Structure 1
Amino acid sequence: MANDGVNGPENTGRRRFLTATTAVVGAVGAGFAAVPFIKSWNPSARAKLAGAPVVADISGLQEGQRLILEWRGQPIWIVKRSKAILDALPTLDGRLRDPESKNTEQQPSYIKGETRSIKPEISVLIGVCTHLGCSPEMVAEIRPEPYDPNWKGGYFCPCHKSRFDMAGRVFQGVPAPLNLAVPPHHYADDNTIVIGVDPEGAA
């Protein structure tokens, strides 16, 4: 008969193959459709540039270590300072251009004192030199350096030799005119820092 074999093994196998292929293509398509939806949960590149907050876990940060994040297209340095570094900060006031951080454009109003921080041991700075926008090197050890025999730790910009202490305060007699900026930030808990958002109730 003309219809012999229509429901035979070969056609059944082909039907199963086509059904499976259709299911796979459908699943792949659904996966591609889901990716933009999942990505929408995270801040977009445009939102990050506009200042979307950046959250970081600092529980593993050890003394002398620096965590580098990105906020608004700028490097954010989070450094855990040692007691020796903190003790050295007051001894540098006479060598600094703005030791009391009187330029209010360089830090939020709740950032005060020689440490320029919410928690004394944790420094949070925008890692961009205030001279021409280079990124200084962190030289955290207290030891003589070619550019400063009385170096107490800090940041050195090799581009034009600007120097900053471990609180980001600029030295006198260098090209950089201002202290390194401190971004708005707060602590969600003891181990979580949020960059880009002031503490609740901050003026």
Structure 2
Amino acid sequence: MSEQGVDNSKRQFLTTALTVVGAVGTGYIAVPFLSQMQPSTKAKAAGAPVEIDISKLETGQLIRAAWRGKPVWVLNRTPDVLEILASNTDNLADPDSQESNQPTSSQNEFRSIKPEIFIAVGLCTHLGCSPTFRPETAPNDLGPDWKGGFFCPCHGSGFDLAGRVVKGVPAPTNLDVPPHHYITDTLVLIGEDTVEDSA
């Protein structure tokens, strides 16, 4: 067939049609593979922020929740505890929380947004054991310097009631304070910083 017998418009139409069909086919093949790379609904839910209602949290009480598969503690500290926290810094490795993990809004002597409410990830920063809540002062097994706090039975690390690690124990840093903010006075959202922290 000669060059003059070729219909260029038909050739252009067939080329365009095959290109479109090929692109659509590639899309149908690629979508299942790409969707498998996305996190599952269960994984998304596990990392989602968690709301905790603290309206019934009594003074001195500790409640536990879960966020990202980790225990989270919410403690309503007494006025006496707040006084001790402000004065008992000589025995602490990082009293100002310079080497520890917390949102900017919680980097203060109480390690909290509201002084009386302490929120922390309940895992020792040494090897990830869960410390026990020991609010009593100077118990026989922990000695006269113990002013209340969290004691890790795995390797003997101690933390005060602001999650600050005491000197000379295996834990290298203070307990982690998760990102959080208050939705209302009695409803706290764990997993998202305040506007100032995320800016």
Q: If the length of structure 1 is used for normalisation, what is the TM-score? A: 0.74
- 2:173 counterpart letter in structure 1: L
Q: In the TM superposition, what is the alpha-carbon distance from 1:147 to its structure 2 partner? A: 2.1
Q: Distance in 2 between matches of 1:87 and 1:66?
A: 18
Match of 1:162 among 157, 162, 166: 157
Give 2:63's aligned residue. 67
Q: If the length of structure 2 is used for normalisation, what is the TM-score? A: 0.76
- 2:80 counterpart letter in structure 1: A
Unmatched 5+ residue regions in structure 1? 1-42
1:173 aligns with 2:168: yes
User: Counterparts of 1:21-32 in structure 2 under 5 Å?
Assistant: none
Q: Distance in 1 between matches of 2:195 and 2:102?
A: 17
Q: Distance in 2 between matches of 1:63 and 1:143?
A: 20
Give 2:19's aligned residue. none
Q: In the TM superposition, what is the alpha-carbon distance from 1:200 to its structure 2 partner? A: 2.1
Q: Distance in 2 between matches of 1:108 and 1:201?
A: 10
Q: In the TM superposition, what is the alpha-carbon distance from 1:143 to its structure 2 partner? A: 3.4
Q: Deviations over 1:37-85 (max 9, x none)?
A: xxxxxx9531233x20100110000011111111111000000000011
Do the aligned partners of 1:186 and 1:199 also contact (CA within 8 Å) in 2?
Answer: yes
Q: Distance in 1 between matches of 2:41 and 2:164?
A: 33
1:110 aligns with 2:121: no
Give 1:200's aligned residue. 195
- 1:135 counterpart letter in structure 2: S
Q: Distance in 1 between matches of 2:44 and 2:66?
A: 12
Q: In the TM superposition, what is the alpha-carbon distance from 1:153 to its structure 2 partner? A: 0.8
Q: Distance in 2 between matches of 1:165 and 1:53?
A: 26
Q: Distance in 1 between matches of 2:54 and 2:149?
A: 20
User: Counterparts of 1:42-81 in structure 2 under 5 Å?
Assistant: 44-49=41-46, 51-81=47-77
Q: Distance in 2 between matches of 1:151 and 1:145?
A: 10
- 2:109 counterpart letter in structure 1: E
Runs ≥4 in structure 1, deviation > 4 angstroms?
none
Q: In the TM superposition, what is the alpha-carbon distance from 1:151 to its structure 2 partner? A: 1.5
CA RMSD after TM alignment: 1.5
Q: In the TM superposition, what is the alpha-carbon distance from 1:98 to its structure 2 partner? A: 0.3
Q: Distance in 1 between matches of 2:41 and 2:56?
A: 27
User: Counterparts of 1:172-191 in structure 2 under 5 Å?
Assistant: 172-191=167-186
Do the aligned partners of 1:144 and 1:150 also contact (CA within 8 Å) in 2?
Answer: no
- 2:90 counterpart letter in structure 1: G
Do the aligned partners of 1:48 and 1:73 also contact (CA within 8 Å) in 2?
Answer: no
Would you say how many aligned residue pairs link Structure 1 and Structure 2?
159
